[in-house]
C-alpha cells in the first residue's frame, strides 16, 4: 500500500518481495493513481490491484476482502502511506492548521490502525505488518515540518500494535529509511539539501536506494526475523548515528587544521632539540 511510481519505496519493497517468491496485491488511493499503479503491478504479476482510500473504513474492508480472495492468507502488509497538504507542510509547526494536522495524522498514522483492523481477519501466526517512517520522527529535520510529529505518532502506533497483535502471532515493525527521491519527497522544501547532507554525513558516505530498503524489508518480514517485533530499523547508511551531521564538513576542516598544527609543532620541537 503506497506505490506511486517506480521510484517509490513501496515499489522497491514489492520488487524484493516478488524476487523472493511472494504473490502480491496493490492498492491505489484515488482513480488518478490507478494509471500509475496498475501497469507496475501487472508487470510483476500482481494477483489483485484495487482501490483503497485509507480514510474510508468501508474501502479498507473491501480491499482486504478482495485481496485475500486472490491471495489466500495474507502474510505481510506493507503500509507506505503518508500525506500532508503542501501549505501546512511548508509552514513552521507553530503555524500548522488544525485541519491540516488532523488530515495528515489520519492518512499517515491512524491509517496503520485502520489497516490492521481490516487485515487482521486474513492474517495469522507468522504474519507481518510493516510501515515506513523517517528520522524526522526522532529529531528535528529542517523542512520536514509537520510530518515529524506525524511520523512520531506512527512509530508509537507501530509499537503499541506490536504489543496488541503479538497475541495473534503477528509482528509489527517499521523501517526508518534515509532520504530517497520519491514523488512524496518533492513536497519537502530543500529536499536536495537533505540528500546532500545524508550522503556527506553518513558513515558509508552515500544515500540509500529503494533496492536496499526492499532487501531489508524482505529480510525483516521473513521467518529469519521471527522474534523481532516493535522495532524501528534504520536503513540510512548509518546517518542516524551521527551527532552533528549538519556541521560535519566544518568539523572535518577543524580536525584537519588541528592535525596540521600538531604536526608543525612536533616538527618544530624536533628541530629545536636537534639544534
DSSP string, 41-85: HHHTT-SEEEE--TT-HHHHHHHHHHHHHHHSS--EEEE------
Check residue 273 and give its pLDDT: 58
What is the band of 267 on the pLDDT scale with cuts at 50, 70, 90? confident
Q: Does residue 3 sit within a domain?
A: no
Q: Please give the pLDDT value at position 154.
A: 98
pLDDT (tens digit per residue) in 133-177: 999 999 988 888 999 999 999 999 999 999 999 999 999 999 999
* pLDDT on residue 41: 97
pLDDT value at 246 more than 70 = no
Ranking 88-102, 153-167, 191-205, 236-250 by mean pLDDT, the lowest is 236-250
- Within-domain flag for 238: yes
CATH code for the domain in which residue 149 is found: 3.40.50.720
What's the whole-model pTM score? 0.85
Residues 167 and 269 in one domain: no
Q: Both 222 and 254 in a single domain?
A: no
In tens, the pLDDT along 253-264 reads: 555 666 777 778
Res. 82: pLDDT tops 60: yes
Q: How far apart are CA 128 and CA 169, in angstroms?
A: 9
Catalytic residue among 48, 144, 160, 168: 144
Mean pLDDT of 38-58: 97
Mean pLDDT score of the chain, rounded to an integer? 89
Both 234 and 265 in one domain: the answer is no
Q: What pLDDT score was predicted for residue 269?
A: 66
261 shares a domain with 226 = no
What is the predicted pLDDT for the residue at 193? Answer: 65
Q: Is residue 2 assigned to a domain? A: no
How many domains are there within the chain? 2
DSSP 8-state code for residue 216: H
Q: What is the pLDDT of residue 192?
A: 62
4 belongs to a structural domain: no
Query: In terms of domains, do 248 and 204 share one?
Result: no
Say if residue 102 is in the same domain as residue 202. yes
Q: Identify whether 134 is a catalytic site residue.
A: yes
Q: Are residues 141 and 267 in the same domain?
A: no
| Same-domain check for residues 27 and 153 | yes
Catalytic residue among 28, 110, 134, 160: 134
Question: Is 110 an annotated catalytic residue?
Answer: no
Structural domain range at position 262 = 244-275
Which pairs from 219-224 meet CB under 8 Å and 24+ separation?
220/128, 220/130, 220/173, 220/175, 221/17, 221/75, 221/76, 221/128, 221/130, 222/20, 223/126
Averaged pLDDT for residues 82-89: 92
- The pLDDT, as a whole number, for residue 253 is 59
Q: Is residue 269 part of a domain?
A: yes
Amino acid at each position: 500500500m503506497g506505490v506511486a511510481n517506480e521510484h517509490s519505496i513501496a515499489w522497491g519493497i514489492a520488487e524484493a518481495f516478488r524476487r523472493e517468491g511472494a504473490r502480491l496485491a496493490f492498492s491505489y488511493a484515488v482513480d488518478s493513481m490507478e494509471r500509475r499503479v496498475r501497469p507496475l503491478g501487472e508487470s510483476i504479476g500482481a494477483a489483485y490491484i484495487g482501490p483503497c482510500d485509507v480514510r474510508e473504513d468501508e474501502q479498507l474492508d473491501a480491499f482486504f476482502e478482495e485481496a485475500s480472495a486472490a491471495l489466500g492468507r495474507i502474510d505481510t502488509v506493507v503500509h507506505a502511506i503518508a500525506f500532508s497538504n503542501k501549505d501546512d507542510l511548508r509552514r513552521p509547526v507553530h503555524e500548522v492548521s488544525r485541519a491540516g494536522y488532523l488530515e495528515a495524522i489520519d492518512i499517515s498514522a491512524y491509517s496503520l490502525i485502520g489497516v490492521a483492523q481490516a487485515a487482521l481477519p486474513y492474517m495469522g501466526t507468522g504474519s507481518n505488518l510493516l510501515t515506513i517512517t523517517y528520522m524526522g520522527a526522532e529529531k528535528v529535520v529542517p523542512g520536514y515540518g509537520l510530518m515529524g510529529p506525524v511520523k512520531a505518532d506512527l512509530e508509537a502506533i507501530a509499537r503499541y500494535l506490536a504489543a496488541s497483535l503479538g497475541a495473534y502471532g503477528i509482528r509489527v515493525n517499521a523501517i526508518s529509511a534515509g532520504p530517497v527521491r520519491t514523488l512524496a519527497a518533492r513536497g519537502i522544501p530543500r529536499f536536495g539539501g537533505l540528500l546532500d547532507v545524508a550522503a556527506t554525513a553518513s558513515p558509508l558516505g552515500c544515500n540509500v536506494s529503494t533496492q536496499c530498503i526492499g532487501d531489508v524489508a524482505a529480510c525483516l518480514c521473513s521467518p529469519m526475523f521471527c522474534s523481532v517485533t516493535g522495532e524501528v530499523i534504520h536503513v540510512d547508511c548509518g546517518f542516524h548515528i551521527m551527532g552533528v551531521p549538519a556541521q560535519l564538513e566544518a568539523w572535518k576542516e577543524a580536525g584537519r587544521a588541528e592535525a596540521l598544527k600538531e604536526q608543525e609543532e612536533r616538527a618544530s620541537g624536533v628541530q629545536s632539540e636537534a639544534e
